[in-house]
Structure 1
Amino acid sequence: MDAFRLLTRSTRFKSAAAPGTEPAAPLPSTGKAANPQLFRTAEGEKLEAAKNRKKRKRAAAVDDEEAGDDAAELDFFQSSKRSSAAKAEASAPSKSDQDQTSDQDDGSDEDDEMDEVERRTILNSHKIKVTDLRDLDVIQPQPPITKESKKKKKKQKKEETPVLSKKEQKRARRMYPQPLTSFKELRTRYKISRRLAENVAEQGFTVPTEVQLGTLPLLLGDSCVSSKTTEEPDLLVVAPTGSGKTLSFLIPVINKIVRHHHSSQSDEHGILSIVVAPTKELASQIVNEGRKLVAGTGVKITLMKKGMRVVEREDEGEANVLDEDSEASRSDDEEDDDKPKKARSNAPVTKSDILVTTPLQLVNALSAHQTTTMARLPLVRSLVLDEADVLLDPLFREQTLGIWRSCVHPDLRVSLWSATMGSNIDDITRSTIKERQDDIGQTTQHPLVRLVVGLKDSAIPNIEHKLVYAATEQGKLLGLRQLLRPTAATASDVRLRPPFLIFTQTIPRAIALHSELKYDIPAEAGGSSRIAVLHSDLSDSQRSEIMRDFRKGEIWILVTTDLLARGVDFRGINGVVNYDIPNSAAVYVHRVGRTGRAGRAGGIAVTYYTKEDIPYVKSIANIIDVSEKLRGTEGKKSIQRWLLDSLPDLSKNDKKELKKHGVKARQVSKQLGKDKEGEGKGMRGTRISTKSGFERRMENRKKGAIEASRNRKANASRGAEESDNGSWKGLED
């Protein structure tokens, strides 16, 4: 051992802060948070520390023995001449020591095993709730029927059969799997791929978040307490935004494919796992994170693109023969027109192991050259639905279920992930699993488990929420302009620094707001290049370029729709502005979840509402109130009780209408299809501008005068040409 290391063994260096100075408030963009956990408590930390107490004691004892040996051999007054054999003999461990250390390493899993009380305490301290969603008959199987049991059944029929209450049913369904307290256990306990474990360590992940603490043991094959099996379950996960759900489903999927490659004796090449996301931005982000984890593992992850082929066709040979026969009768022009189609049909089938896609792209690829049925994916063993509540919404439901039914492998496992998930998702999942089992003739039923982190459908507690009444559209625009100045404080004392996101209800409103704020940043700071707008009407290349510039920090303010409300991870976002009130409470949870990622503190979520929005505010106010209670800000509540009591309740029909079309005053259909005179009156309350009616009339008159002048000049020149053509040119010879 090094002499300096030995002498400074008990020395601890601490950086002394200047007296009388207070640390500055942390911002989300200042780097990684020291503690990424959202609901971690002191009790849970004590139990996690006690879990490895024996191992730490053994390690400390070994270090003390080594230090004692070094201290005994260390002599500053001894001659420097020492035989190399003595050094080798002192440094080489004995055979018994090697056997002892190997025994300790082999038995580390046994020492890490927890009893049910410890597992329950750790999961409860992290606010993790695991539930078995199968029938109670399956969870609690009845004993085999014998002669004695038949007699007992006859007696029990005469008596009243006891019925379990709801609390007893919940207790019977509760599960307490062993939690993952460190990423080192992925290698020591769950035996994942060595290269995959190294990639996880290179990303800097050491302490798992709540969702990783609970889901990774289930997906990697840990024993389910209720079923006493090591079978991987179908999983529904509800966890806060920014809590690490992407890593939670990528690690098991990659490890499963690595094991398949090593154990497979046949030459099966094809898509083994599919990850479905609602937007291209989220799908691209998943691929980028996955490429960091699959480096050196032999697993290939690919983003679905237009024209990509994912499966071989049974009727492909007949189609090629028809194409060859019809080529002779086509003209050269027709052949040139059909070249792109031929190139797409002759493109090779992708050899990727993991395919990340949006629903429509994969459905189009599976339905190509067929009108009634979709092609099947016989090799897929893992199907991941990220933002499952949107994918199973009526907008994407048929496409998502079509992909689900196309995966016909009997060992398919499905996992659904989101920060908000209604009870209807449980029913859809059960019915789809049962329908799929009937189609493929499968009799065995896999475990179906739901894991919830924290309070269901609630916002993360580590950000600050502000609900600001702006009365009118002009008031919202004025309040937003005040937020653009970092040193200025509004009436609600909101301070927000770029970069941040601004959400609007529709694409036309996003474009109008961007044009209104385009020149608010001075030229010295970058001018209009610092503000951009992103929506689905832009091309893929434009969207990718804007996302890249925003991540690089070249764009400070990004005006967008709900296109970026889900899943997209911007680690340096300081805040979110809801310029238009969200269509539902779930949309609000996902919007504000773009800041405060991975437990970072300092993010702010500002929501403006006008007189037209008052009927729709209560659900958002309730979410803010619950988030502040979780945060523990008792004296600094932004939502007072009198506000919650005074806000009106929304009926179910109104909630459905709001979710489909948004606030009626800002619906696109109401703004379009009107004449010029009615357009001014109908859009007066929704126009994004601070100009008065007089200024707009003067501008319109000026534009009309300029246009009329141009028309007169054009008509005059056209009349002169006509007069020249029809004029008398004299007598002809």
Structure 2
Amino acid sequence: MGIDARINANIAAMGLTRPTPIQAQAIPAVVEGRDVLGLAQTGTGKTAAFGLPMLTRLIKFGKKPDPKTCRALILAPTRELATQIAQNIDAYAEGTPIRSFRVVGGASINVQTERMSRGVDVLIATPGRLIDLIERRAVDLSATTYLVLDEADQMLDIGFIHALRRIAKILPKERQTLLFSATMPKLMSELADTYLSDPVRVAVNTPGKAADKIEQGVHFVTQGDKATLLAEYLSKHPGELAMVFGRTKHGCEKLSNVLEKWGFAVAAIHGNKSQGQRERALQAFRKGETQVLVATDVAARGLDIPEVAHVYNYDLPNVPENYVHRIGRTARAGRDGRAVAFCAPAEAGELRAIEKAMKAVIPVIGGEPPAASAPSGRGPRGRGKPMDGGSKRPSRRPSRRPKTQQAKA
């Protein structure tokens, strides 16, 4: 497909021998120098789709970049996704002269400024920290000829539109731009018009569709009983990795503390954690030193940990599409996965919005749904079989906890 031989050798050693659909469609267009608008969920192989042809082109420069400059800029919405992209780029480029660098918030800006003084081939950045460095005149984008916006819809969701518009104004007009998004909201069309020139459109996933290998279920429960119910589910799968998604930073931290007191090996990731804390939590989770990772939506995209067997939506997301991103953390690399949504009475509206976005009804595996929660026109909800082979309504009291802890939870 026109990829440099050294890079091909690296990806072959990584076990990447057949292109995914997004790679098969995007790489030829990138090799031709075309702008690309890609619609694809996380986990479809986008990093290789833009990274392999990008690195092939950069190798041909044959000289070091100028101070403070970057020849390729990759923008990502979260620190975790930026870190994962950087790791993949380094793996693809091993043994070549290409050098990459990641700049994100929560890390020393002075260290980042010093590193950028020497220039880099590939700069992976979150928009906010990139703006900080531009304002310090530590980054010069005048030589950037290759631009990637990954998970662009999430960048809009978390308020980066003004930063993206500002960055667009200082980039060279003569460049190649690739924009990848899982959804295509109205504001995304404006962003695409701003950044892209006559793009090739590549779509490999139906927006809002979950992976086929994810076994889904919804368990109806009162808000106050969620922690107890989660402990029961976790106890049935000792030694298996599970991600638990909450809505707020405070709620995730509180839940992780409760689970730790109950004897679970748990870590938390959210916006109040430093970059070092988030990286240590992820590293421990990848190694299996902790089995439970409690997170906000900062971890809903980009994290590729194939061993994650279970995803629990402790709180249903306010943005329906985020449900698909969350449960996409499981059933990766061809594996099976399971996703359980806890739905309190006040979240019936969020559940209906999620099912509408997916065009599917999530089977009930526990609890009693409120009468108003059945999607209109579909009749009563179907009840799925219990995922754990037990009763459809597990007992609410784990044996490991005294009543006083239940009340506290």
Is TM (by shorter chain) over 0.5? yes
Q: 1:375 to 1:611 in 2, by over 3 A?
A: same
Alignment map for 1:556-575 (pairs within 5 Å): 556-575=291-310
1:291 aligned partner, one-letter code: D
What is the CA distance between 1:690 and its match in structure 2?
9.3
- Normalized against structure 1, the TM-score is what? 0.48
What is the CA distance between 1:272 and its match in structure 2?
0.3
Q: 1:625 to 1:476 in 2, by over 3 A?
A: farther
What is the CA distance between 1:352 and its match in structure 2?
1.1
What are the superposed Cα offsets for residues 390-429 of structure 1, whole Å, 9 maximum, x if unpaired?
A: 2234611111222222211x43111111323324312332
Q: Which residue of 2 aligns with 1:195?
A: 6
Q: Which residue of 1 aligns with 2:36?
A: 235
What is the CA distance between 1:268 and its match in structure 2?
5.4
> Is there any run of 5+ residues in structure 1 with no aligned partner, and where?
1-185, 222-231, 311-343, 434-445, 488-495, 522-527, 629-635, 648-688, 697-733
What are the superposed Cα offsets for residues 335-385 of structure 1, whole Å, 9 maximum, x if unpaired?
A: xxxxxxxxx6x776132100011111110111126xxxx975111011111
Structure having the larger proportion of residues in helix = 1
Find the residue that maps to 2:308 and give its secondary structure.
coil
Q: 1:453 to 1:363 in 2, by over 3 A?
A: same
1:401 correspondence with 2:165: yes
2:308 aligned partner, one-letter code: I
What is the CA distance between 1:201 and its match in structure 2?
1.1
What is the CA distance between 1:540 and its match in structure 2?
1.9
Q: Which residue of 2 aligns with 1:602?
A: 336
Q: Which residue of 1 aligns with 2:281?
A: 546
Alignment map for 1:430-445 (pairs within 5 Å): 430-433=193-196
Q: Which residue of 2 aligns with 1:363?
A: 131
Distance in 2 (alpha carbons) for counterparts of 1:375 and 1:549: 33
Find the residue that maps to 2:6 and give its secondary structure.
helix
Q: Which residue of 1 aligns with 2:388?
A: none
Conserved 8 A contact 1:277-1:387: yes
Q: Which residue of 2 aligns with 1:486?
A: 236
Q: 1:625 to 1:603 in 2, by over 3 A?
A: farther
Identity %: 28
Distance in 1 (alpha carbons) for counterparts of 2:152 and 2:359: 26
Q: Which residue of 1 aligns with 2:327?
A: 592
What are the superposed Cα offsets for residues 293-344 of structure 1, whole Å, 9 maximum, x if unpaired?
A: 111221111112543598xxxxxxxxxxxxxxxxxxxxxxxxxxxxxxxxx6
Conserved 8 A contact 1:257-1:299: yes
Distance in 1 (alpha carbons) for counterparts of 2:41 and 2:118: 34
Distance in 2 (alpha carbons) for counterparts of 1:196 and 1:507: 40
- Normalized against structure 2, the TM-score is what? 0.83
Q: 1:381 to 1:554 in 2, by over 3 A?
A: same
What is the CA distance between 1:475 and its match in structure 2?
2.8
Conserved 8 A contact 2:268-2:295: yes
1:419 correspondence with 2:198: no
Distance in 2 (alpha carbons) for counterparts of 1:637 and 1:453: 29
Q: Which residue of 1 aligns with 2:23?
A: 212
Q: 1:469 to 1:349 in 2, by over 3 A?
A: same
Alignment map for 1:322-721 (pairs within 5 Å): 349-368=117-136, 376-393=140-157, 395-408=159-172, 410-433=173-196, 446-470=197-221, 472-486=222-236, 498-521=240-263, 528=264, 530-598=265-333, 600-623=334-357, 625-626=359-360, 643-645=374-376
Find the residue that maps to 1:645 and give its secondary structure.
coil
Find the residue that maps to 1:450 and give its secondary structure.
strand
Q: 1:626 to 1:382 in 2, by over 3 A?
A: farther
The structure with the largest alpha-carbon Rg is 1
What are the superposed Cα offsets for residues 676-728 of structure 1, whole Å, 9 maximum, x if unpaired?
A: xxxxxxxxxxxxx99679967xxxxxxxxxxxxxxxxxxxxxxxxxxxxxxxx
What is the CA distance between 1:477 and its match in structure 2?
2.2
Distance in 1 (alpha carbons) for counterparts of 2:135 and 2:406: 56
1:246 correspondence with 2:9: no
Conserved 8 A contact 1:200-1:293: yes
Q: Which residue of 2 aligns with 1:307?
A: 109
Structure having the larger proportion of residues in strand = 2
Q: 1:540 to 1:695 in 2, by over 3 A?
A: closer
Conserved 8 A contact 1:421-1:457: no
What is the CA distance between 1:218 and its match in structure 2?
1.0
Q: 1:582 to 1:695 in 2, by over 3 A?
A: closer
Q: Which has the higher contact order (CA 8 A, sep 6+)?
A: 2
Alignment map for 1:52-91 (pairs within 5 Å): none
Conserved 8 A contact 2:72-2:123: yes
Aligned length: 378
What is the CA distance between 1:558 and its match in structure 2?
1.0
Find the residue that maps to 1:466 and give its secondary structure.
strand
Q: CA RMSD in A?
A: 3.1
What are the superposed Cα offsets for residues 661-681 of structure 1, whole Å, 9 maximum, x if unpaired?
A: xxxxxxxxxxxxxxxxxxxxx
2:262 aligned partner, one-letter code: D
Conserved 8 A contact 1:458-1:627: no
Conserved 8 A contact 1:473-1:610: yes
What is the CA distance between 1:485 and its match in structure 2?
2.1
What is the CA distance between 1:386 and its match in structure 2?
1.1
1:364 aligned partner, one-letter code: D
